[in-house]
Chains A and B, each alone.
Chain A
Amino acid sequence: MPRDSLIPFDNISNEDELTSPHRGRERSQRGEKRDGVYEKKKKKKVTSRRRERSGVDEGGVQLEHERRDKEKRKRKRNTVQARGEGEENHKEREDERKSRKTAKLGKSLRNENSQKIQKEGEEEGEENQEEETEKKPKRKKKHGHSKKEEAEDEGKYELKEETQEVEKKNTKTVAETGLEQESSEDTEEVHEEDKVDQEDHENQVRPCSLSPEELEKLKEAVEERKKLIQSLRGKPWSMKKKLLTLRESQEFVEKYEGALGKAKGRKLYAYKVIMTKKWMKFQRDFENFKTACIPWEMKIKEIESHFGSSVASYFIFLRWMYGINMILFGLTFGLVMVPEALMGKPYGSIPRKTVPRSEEASAMNFAVLWDCGGYAQYSVLFYGYYNDQRAIGWLKFRMPLSYFLVGVGTVAYSYMVVIRTMARNANESGVGDDNSFNFSWKMFTSWDYLIGNPETADNKFASITTSFKEAILEEQENRKDDNIHLTRFLRVLANFLVLCCLAGSGYLIYFVVRRSQKFALDGLENHTWWERNEVNMVMSLLGMFCPMLFDVISTLENYHPRVALQWQLGRIFALFLGNLYTFIIALMDEINVKREEEKIIKFNITMWESNLYNGTGSENGTTVSPIIIQPADVPRGPCWETMVGQEFVRLIISDTMTTYITLLIGDFIRAVLVRFLNYCWCWDLEAGFPSYSEFDVSGNVLGLIFNQGMIWMGAFYAPCLPALNVLRLHVSMYLQCWAVMCCNVPQERVFKASRSNNFYMAMLLVILFLSTLPAIYTIVTIPPSFDCGPFSGKKRMFDVIQETLESDFPSWFSKVFIYASNPGLVLPFILLMVLAIYYLQSTSKSYKEANVELKKKLQTQNEENKKKNKQAALKAQLDLEEAQKVASQAPKPRYKSEKFCYNSLSVTEKCQQTKT
């Protein structure tokens, strides 16, 4: 029977209860602990069951002598009854009657069991027989009492019947559900013997199936249990209680879930149940799998326990970045690099895919490759290699379109992820901005439970103590600066110095880039290594030393450490940004130079071609054979896109190198020196001046953010950048984990991680925006090179969209698109968006105001409540005193006061109780 196979658990549990009433009773004992409502139900069940049994029992005795089909029906009822009793008699277990019942139960059971044994042989035979032998003597003894008992039960039942009709219905439900289950089981048993009979029997059972309301009730109960199971882990109970509740509710659900499907949709329901179960299991497995897939969990945990949550937050951020870069890498690799490498024309087939003759000799040199020249330049790694063929390979893969869309897609995806993460962070940190619980928060949330290292713990203790002292000082008097003018002057001076630094570094970079262009024009071979790598080195060195300078300058300002940190971060941010933008402006200059160059070369090429044509034409005379020119010999333009890509790759590589080298020198060598020179030095190196370095969370995060900005900027022109970045992040994860564990000491000033999280995210967003700006600018305004890259020959890069629209989509589509993109439609649309933004902003503002208002209201209400409670407490006390005088009326006033309290606030109830 398909139905049976769908509800296997029902059968199993029933079988259990059938074969061993003891077990059933055990279960019912456990059931006692269930909620009261359910218990009540059960009581009623017992009473109704008794009546049923009165009829059935006789049948049980005569069982062997009756016709087969009748026998079967009755047996079913018996089993139901047996089940019911096994479950429900827990209340009067001590009673004598109870023992009689069980005896009877065993007897009726025996009938079935003996049959089963005869029919099916072994299976559960042993167990049943054991029970049987136990029950046999009892049964014989008690048989005489059965009639008396029946009468008793009848009377009882009639008494209760009228008052408890509703509950009775419930019990019926259960009985019948049980019946149905039995029926399905039974039919399975005998279905070889007589199918007609079985159908007959089913028809008999069906009519007395559940009414819809009862079904609903049961369904609700089951749903409730399910919900309970779901939310169990969030309950503040001890594990024992949780396990117990879990087991009970699971049993409940299992027992009645199958019974629920009595009505028409039974099969569907059973199917649904099974599927939800499977789905849950799958979800759980998937969850397990997912957590197993998160890398570096243990590493981060270790760092967390050594350095607290703030250092760990950097590594979590790093991991998050890694994830994003993995996806960016997957996009570019899967949709751009691999298709071009597999399906595009092979290397050497056309000029843009070949190393030119002049460079061929040095193309494989490591220095050249390291500089992204030679074979590296003419490979899928850079923009210039890609062909402008519209569709490539047997897949007819639209290469230029894919290139463009991936470029746009990576940026769009990054925006989406960053903004979504920001929103989630904002949700989590939520309303934490008001200062009304300053001391309480300090008291209850300042200890970082993650800390598992004595040194960190010491630092934490110290920082907590100082923070408390500071707060106390602030509380006692809002600190007055004794020399306001001096500090003001110093702060202005500091900012001036910082501005000078920024301007100087900007100029230096501009100068260096221009100089490098001059060198490039001269030819790189004539220059030293330093002159060739000047730009990157200068940028990296500036990034390394300027922050230190800022740190020194910021000591002038005498800010609170947290404010000082923010200033410091802001300045480093400005420095990096300034450097990056000067670099870009210099690049723009270079692009313009290259484009001039390109014009000349374009002209030269036409000349060259015509020369070639004329020359060959004159040689060959009449027969014009196809001229074969090696693609390496064809003159070509300077391809500014590849140049930009190369610059970015070089920048990333040198940046990575400096990071690693600083790590090694600044942290490792320093740590080694401090550790070993300490034995023979005149002062204590470990405690004194050089000491071990701290892990600089903010600096590292900033470095990471800027690195990412460069990736976003350059990824369009060098598809290999995300791959490079993935590699870099992977290595730095291990390297930094090692470095931090081996040569850093925990921070002395521990800042809170959670609040700065969104600060970093905001910086990332700003960087993302600023880095997409120049990329978009170049894509939109500068025409692509004429002889390299997927967009060669087009006027603008985004023309590829229009081309696709025209040739790949039906004509009406492009028409619609053209209509949609005309200014008459776009302008109103933009207007609409602006309006929407304005509207949303104003609503959010008003919400914020409402929030503030509500907060105020809450506060005043709290104060009012405080007053009220005071009064109430006083009143209650008075009442109580009065009440104590009049001893007989003692409970009354107390009740009054309690009621009053209940009206005002439930909290006060407790206080009064304790007062009394």
Chain B
Amino acid sequence: MGNKQTIFTTQQLDAYQDCTYFTRKEILRLFYRYRDLAPQLVPLDYTSHPDVKLPYELIGSMPELKDNPFRQRIAEVFSEDGEGNMTLDDFLDMFSVLSEMAPRDLKAYYAFKIYDFNNDDFICKSDLEKTLNKLTRNELTEDEVRMVCEKVIDEADLDNDGRLSLEDFQHMIVRAPDFLSTFHIRI
């Protein structure tokens, strides 16, 4: 108990519990995971809100993210500076959204952001191509990629503007049977 008290105050822990889907124990565990990435950078005392950021290289090397083709996007979306460098808050936020408890809408919102590579609030063809190439490790031919992207837009684009908006995406993803079971990271 003793060292728990020194990392966070009770208020901080309560606040984190209000803001994430984690229990106290999980928050502490996440903190240790975060700290283990760079013990020399992260202090053991967070009561005074130290301004610590871990670079993307460290975040991306976590075993949970290491093999994910979208790891860079995930880190970028959840980091405050948009470049993948994360504070503890961002870190908690990320795993909260990716936890099992997070509702579908929240997950869909962030999934959209992750797949929106150029941050223009639309998933356009280039985003789809990037996604597909990451998923298949460039093993599809150009024609195939083009066809799949066209099919996707044809299926999901409701307003016919040639790209997917957040509404289109949510409309499509809400029905997906596997979305909830695959879009989460257990930590």
Contact = CB atoms under 8 A, between A and B. Distances in A.
A468 B21 contact: no
A472 B176 contact: no
Nearest to A441: B176
A239 B92 contact: yes
Interface in A424-441: 428-432, 434, 436-441
A665 interface: no
B115 A239 contact: no
B159 A866 contact: yes
B137 to A, nearest CB: 5
A847 interface: no
Contact of A440 (B15, B98, B155, B167): B155
A564 interface: no
A449 to B, nearest CB: 5
A160 B94 CA distance: 48
Tell which of A235, A247, A431, A447 has the most Cβ of chain B within 10 Å. A447
Nearest to A235: B106
Nearest to A229: B18
B116 to A, nearest CB: 12
Contact of B151 (A234, A444, A469, A475): A475
B150 to A, nearest CB: 9
Interface string B5-27: 00000000001011111011110
A905 B140 contact: no
A440 B156 contact: yes
Contacts of B106: 234-236
B156 A437 contact: yes
Nearest to A242: B19
Given A439-B152, A468-B144, A907-B159, A449 B176 contact: no
A457 interface: yes
A233 B20 contact: yes
Contacts of A236: 106, 109-110
A699 to B, nearest CB: 21
B177 A755 contact: yes
A176 interface: no
A34 interface: no
A461 interface: yes
Given A233-B21, A238-B90, A445 B156 contact: no
Interface stretch (A284-292, A678-686, A829-837): A284-292
A232 interface: yes
Interface string B93-116: 100101000110110011100010
Interface in A230-268: 232-236, 238-240, 242-243, 246-247
B132 interface: yes
Contact of B158 (A430, A434, A866): A866
A642 interface: no
Interface in A495-544: none
A229 B14 CA distance: 12
B109 to A, nearest CB: 5
Contacts of B148: 439, 443, 468, 471-472
Given A292-B25, A453-B67, A438 B144 contact: no
B136 A465 contact: yes
A243 B160 CA distance: 39
Contacts of A240: 80, 89
B70 A447 contact: yes
Interface stretch (B31-39, B40-48, B52-60, B178-186): B178-186
A793 B20 CA distance: 63
A771 interface: no
Contact of B18 (A232, A438, A440): A232
A653 interface: no
Interface stretch (A164-172, A215-223, A301-309): A301-309
A727 interface: no
Nearest to B29: A298
Interface string B141-181: 00010011001100110111100010111001101111111
B68 interface: yes
B40 to A, nearest CB: 23
B183 A301 contact: no
Interface in A719-769: 752-755
A862 B168 CA distance: 11
Given A240-B80, A444-B173, A246 B181 contact: no
Interface string A804-846: 0000000000000000000000000000000000000000000
A66 B58 CA distance: 69
A448 B98 CA distance: 12
B137 A461 contact: yes
A465 B109 CA distance: 26
Contacts of A232: 18-19
B64 A452 contact: yes
Given A440-B172, A464-B136, A445 B183 contact: yes
Contact of B111 (A432, A444, A452): A444
B139 A465 contact: yes
B11 to A, nearest CB: 9
Contacts of A437: 155-156, 172, 175-176
A911 interface: yes
A754 B135 contact: no
A907 B159 CA distance: 7
B144 to A, nearest CB: 6
A865 B182 contact: no
Contacts of B137: 461, 465
Contacts of B50: none
Given A233-B96, A239-B93, A288 B140 contact: no
Contacts of B178: 432, 441, 445-446, 752, 754-755
Contacts of B139: 461, 465
A291 B25 contact: yes
Nearest to B79: A238
B63 interface: yes
Given A233-B21, A452-B66, A469-B140, A444 B158 contact: no
Contact of B136 (A461, A870, A905): A461
A870 B160 contact: yes
A454 interface: yes
Nearest to A472: B144
Contacts of B64: 305, 452
Contacts of A438: 151, 155
Contact of A443 (B103, B131, B184): B131
Nearest to B166: A907
A536 B46 CA distance: 61
Interface of B: 15, 17-21, 23-26, 63-70, 80, 87, 89-90, 92-93, 96, 98, 102-103, 105-106, 109-111, 115, 128, 131-132, 135-137, 139-140, 144, 147-148, 151-152, 155-156, 158-161, 165, 167-169, 172-173, 175-187
Nearest first, the 4 closest Cβ-Cβ pairs linking A and B are A432-B177, A239-B89, A457-B67, A439-B151
6 contacts: A233-B21, A234-B106, A440-B172, A441-B177, A449-B183, A905-B158
Interface of A: 229, 232-236, 238-240, 242-243, 246-247, 284, 287-288, 291-292, 301, 304-305, 309, 428-432, 434, 436-441, 443-454, 456-457, 461, 464-465, 468-469, 471-472, 475, 752-755, 862, 865-866, 869-870, 905-908, 910-911
Given A234-B106, A469-B144, A471-B148, 20 more contacts: A234-B105, A240-B89, A242-B19, A246-B19, A305-B63, A432-B177, A434-B175, A436-B155, A437-B155, A444-B131, A447-B69, A449-B68, A450-B185, A453-B67, A454-B66, A464-B136, A468-B144, A468-B148, A754-B180, A866-B160
